[in-house]
Chain A
Amino acid sequence: MTQLATFTLADHLFGVEVSRVQEVLRYQPSTKVYLASPAIGGLMNLRGQVVTSVDLRRRLELEPRSDGSEPMNVVVRVDGEVLSLLVDAIGDVVTVSDDLFESPPETLSAKERELIVGAYKLEDRLLLALDIDRAVDVT
């Protein structure tokens, strides 16, 4: 059994291991980093700590967020560094049984398949398990 914190991007449901998630936050104003990779969302002030955010929509090469909607933050720890993943909406923490796991479905885009470990077939929809380390590997 694996516990995943879920969130949505476009109409996909993604999940990351609960143990990797430090916290989730509503939209935070952030400072744009010019010249950085487009997947870098910006820098935000998390209780005095400067946290770099990764815009998962851009990272997964999904269509940009429609104007007006503000991304939520899934704050994760990667190699001792705190990073934030910008997502559309935060979902529940779900417990999935490992026998529901299968390799990334072919229907996904190449980029999506590159950044997910695999998928869990839930009753009503597919839960894509994000490979955090790869997802934040933006330079």
Chain B
Amino acid sequence: MDGLEGMDEIVQEFLVESHENLDQLDRDLVALEREPGSRDLLSSIFRTIHTIKGTSGFLALTRLESVTHVGENLLSRLRDGELSMTPATTDALLQMVDVVRLLLSKIESEGGEGDVDISVAVAAVEACLNAGNAPAPAPAPAPAEPAAVQAPAEEPVAEEAPAPKRRAAAKRTTTPRKRAAKKPAEAVAVAAEEPQAQGAEQAPAPVAEPAAAPAPAPAPAAAKPAPVEHAPEPNTEPQARRTAADSTIRVDVDQLELLMNLVGELVLTRNQIVQRANADHDMELLRMTQRLNLVTSELQEGVMKTRMQPIDHVWSKLPRVVRDLSSMLGKQVSLEMYGKETELDRTLLEAIKDPLTHIVRNSVDHGVETPERRRAAGKPETGLLRLRAFHEGGRVVVEIVDDGAGIDPVKIGSKAVEKGVVTAAQLAALSEREVLNLIFKPGFSTAEKVTNVSGRGVGMDVVRTNIEKIGGTVDLTSVPGQGSTFRLTIPLTLAIVPALTVECCGERYAVPQISLLEVVSIDARRGTTAIETVSGAPVYRLRGRLLPLVDLADVLGLDKSRRDEGNVNIAVLQSDGRPFGLILDRVLNSEEIVVKPLSSRLKGIGVYSGATILGDGTVALILDVQALAAGTMRSEAAERAAQLEAQSAAVAEVERLLVAQVAGDRRVAIPLDMVTRLEEFPSEKVQHVGAREVVEYRGEILPLVRLSRHLGGYDEGTGERLPMIVSSRGGRSVALVVDRILDIVEEGVHSRSDVDDIGLLGSALIQEKVVELLDVRQAILAADPRFPIDPLPELSGAQAGFADDAFSFEGML
């Protein structure tokens, strides 16, 4: 009994598979006797034996291996036509199958091969092999002599290893034995149809008494007792517990599919009943629906489980991949896997196989360093690749973590620009994480030299496409010097998904929640103003960040006259690692929907990924978020908005900026709402109070800051008249002295946040020129430390944008 508990899963699977194969084998062998020349049958038998042999060798089951080995030899020669089928070969093969069966049941019950005697079966098969080598094979013209039949058949009982002479004798009697052989073959065939126990009953007989198998026909009465004699031992076993073959069954996937569909129907009906019951206030009905609800949920879960397989099915081949690859690259990588038992729908499992393998290969190839480098970096020579799978919020997360060199965002960035994946300006505005995720863009390959391992053109973009195809996401984080983490988030199943039902212009749609980040509800009064347009593309400021918008009504061409004017909702969705907003009228509900495939007639449209039936029985289409995003980003105006959005990580506010020239040719920008007036003073009016410069202005003393000096340049503003930007608040004013007022611009700022120069917030591209964004607050405080600059409620300019960004960015991803 302990044997089963302690039995390796692999052995267990092997047993189940082999039992099935053996049943098939019995049938094949019998069929083969009827049509001895059938290559199909021979090939099928050969494959079966070959499989068992291969696995048994792998599992170090030596007896099983050697018996199947000779069997395979014989079969291969039969298959190749070197030998032809004779009743003797059939006997020998059946005998072999019986031994295999006995061995398998021993393995199952005792966890090992025990002391099963295989020599007789091996000898019988070898006899056939040798017979093939002999010059005169096959049916010797021995006349039918019933007496002769019995004699050679029984003799082997006495002598365990038949001498060559005996074999010759056996050969001579092949013709009469032909009839004899039919009987046991049929008997076995019957056994195969019947419960396992009976098959097992017959199995040991020929082994213990090699003669028994050929014998039955001439002496049917004698044959009977043999199995009975041996029955007690194997017979009690199956009663004690189910055998491997009995405890599992193979079910047609279509059958499961059908069950799944029916459960889907049930879920829908349940939803309808629950809806109705809630409206009825009938307590009795409510109680019953609650019970129905519970049972349905459990049933749904149970049926879904039948389709679930542990992720180990996909992982199991990774150790080999890692081993081969690391030795090829001269690296040392140890692979650790956690959460092997985490289960996923089998179709999803299939879908993540390639992306996962690709990421693992990539991690070994590009992530883990060579032993020398690792040593130099003070790490253990053996790199660590850790796979982790776990459930999180109704999804499965798979993490691939390496402790390698990590990924340098700077390198990625310059590569991306070089490859034309992004422009330098776009890159400048991206956060480190966004830069890292550029590797998932089409046309990107980080391999410095294209290796035959990961740099094969089909890169990470395929990984992302494939993962997103099944409604999953992929994300990359990295700490230079310490390693990288790929994180795949995969839905548990595709058949039933959590979704948001929404309404737009009187139509209802479902949006899968996996791509949903949040829903922003806009106050009706603000509705029209909150959505701004940049170059014709609608955008929304979400926590200081520009969110490109897609109006569902526009995408689908809905009837806008049916628009619910009182409501504007934005579903913030994520596609391609980038958020965008979908404008809708209303969010109705969050529910589990059963995904129904779309007719082939509708697949071409692209924006729908399926259909579902809502609680009230109406059909709603499921929106394909990826397609919505892709379709919208393609339009030129939206492309700009998307660009802006990307750059908004730093400032990118659509706002009015005053651009001035300082320190010769530098341009600085100041939010216009910080500017109260523009003034010019003759330079001789500048006076000094202590170290500060001031001018008298409307009866007040106005402190000055020369921006050129403030920003660390020389003060060339020694012209006759000094242009100044006056900022007033709460009765106090300061003046910022510049060389020249250039322009007031109103547009998105293409900026970079990482310029850390004194007095600046960053630099930006405005009208294709680099402009420095002045830290106005600092400049003003330099002139007047008591200037009431805080709090900054109306300061919606660059600073507010900056202050918010880190937060909103984190919040989004």
Contact = CB atoms under 8 A, between A and B. Distances in A.
A72 interface: no
Contacts of A36: 601-602, 605
B367 to A, nearest CB: 43
13 contacts: A43-B611, A43-B619, A45-B619, A48-B264, A48-B265, A49-B596, A50-B598, A50-B619, A52-B598, A52-B601, A83-B599, A138-B601, A139-B604
B247 interface: no
A81 B508 CA distance: 25
Interface stretch (A27-35, A91-99, A122-130): A27-35
B617 interface: yes
A120 to B, nearest CB: 29
B605 A43 contact: no
Interface in B592-629: 596, 598-602, 604-605, 607-608, 611-613, 617-621
Consensus secondary structure, chain B interface: mixed
A30 to B, nearest CB: 7
Given A43-B611, A45-B619, A136-B601, 20 more contacts: A29-B618, A32-B507, A33-B602, A34-B507, A34-B556, A35-B557, A35-B605, A36-B601, A36-B605, A40-B601, A43-B621, A45-B618, A48-B265, A50-B596, A50-B611, A50-B612, A81-B599, A81-B600, A138-B601, A139-B601
Contacts, number: 60
Given A48-B268, A48-B613, A136-B601, A34 B558 contact: yes
A122 to B, nearest CB: 32
A44 interface: yes
Contacts of B604: 139
Contacts of B605: 33, 35-36
Nearest to B610: A50
A99 B317 CA distance: 67
Given A43-B611, A139-B601, A33 B621 contact: yes
A34 B508 CA distance: 12
B605 to A, nearest CB: 5
Given A43-B611, A50-B596, A50-B613, A31 B601 contact: no
Interface residues of B, number: 27
A18 B133 CA distance: 67
Contacts of B596: 49-50
Given A30-B619, A33-B608, A33-B621, A52 B599 contact: yes
Contacts of A40: 601-602
B537 to A, nearest CB: 20
Interface in A76-100: 81, 83
Interface in B328-365: none
Q: Give the top 5 A-B pairs by smallest Cβ distance, nearest first.
A: A34-B556, A52-B599, A48-B265, A43-B619, A31-B619
Interface string A15-38: 000000000000001111111110
A112 to B, nearest CB: 21
Interface of A: 29-37, 40, 42-45, 48-50, 52, 81, 83, 136, 138-139
B506 to A, nearest CB: 10
A32 to B, nearest CB: 7
Contacts of A35: 556-557, 605, 607
Interface string B243-272: 000000000000000000000110011000
B200 to A, nearest CB: 43
Contacts of B607: 35
A45 B557 contact: no
A45 B601 contact: no
A136 B268 CA distance: 28
Nearest to B599: A52
A31 B265 contact: no
Nearest to A82: B599
Contacts of A50: 596, 598, 611-613, 619
A48 B594 CA distance: 10
A45 B558 contact: no
Contacts of B558: 34
Contacts of A42: 619
Most buried by A among B599, B605, B608, B613: B599
Nearest to A52: B599
B14 to A, nearest CB: 38
A78 to B, nearest CB: 10
Contacts of B613: 45, 48, 50
A49 to B, nearest CB: 8
Contacts of A34: 507, 556-558
Nearest to B595: A50
Contacts of A81: 599-600
Interface string B791-808: 000000000000000000
B635 to A, nearest CB: 15
Contacts of B265: 48
Nearest to A81: B599
A119 to B, nearest CB: 27
A14 to B, nearest CB: 20
Interface in B544-558: 556-558
B616 to A, nearest CB: 10
A10 B264 CA distance: 39
A55 to B, nearest CB: 12
Contacts of A33: 602, 605, 608, 621
B621 A31 contact: yes
Nearest to B596: A50
A31 to B, nearest CB: 4
A40 B601 CA distance: 9
B619 A44 contact: yes
Contacts of B621: 31, 33, 43
Contact of A31 (B264, B599, B618): B618
Nearest to A43: B619
A54 to B, nearest CB: 8
B468 to A, nearest CB: 21
A85 to B, nearest CB: 13
Contacts of B620: 31
A78 B618 CA distance: 23
Nearest to A34: B556
Contacts of A49: 596
Nearest to B597: A50
A138 B601 CA distance: 6
A42 B556 CA distance: 14
A114 to B, nearest CB: 18
B6 to A, nearest CB: 47
B219 to A, nearest CB: 57
Interface string B701-730: 000000000000000000000000000000
A42 to B, nearest CB: 8
A33 B713 CA distance: 63
A33 B269 CA distance: 24
A52 B507 contact: no
Nearest to B612: A50
A49 B269 CA distance: 12
Interface in B196-241: none
Contacts of A44: 619
B268 A52 contact: no
A75 B111 CA distance: 59
Contacts of A30: 619
Nearest to A79: B600
A136 B183 CA distance: 59
Interface string B498-516: 0000000001100000000
A85 B621 CA distance: 20
A50 B596 CA distance: 7
B613 to A, nearest CB: 5
B501 to A, nearest CB: 13
Nearest to B268: A48
A52 B610 CA distance: 12
A102 to B, nearest CB: 31
Contacts of A31: 507-508, 611, 618-621
Contacts of B619: 30-31, 42-45, 50
A30 B618 CA distance: 7
Nearest to B620: A31
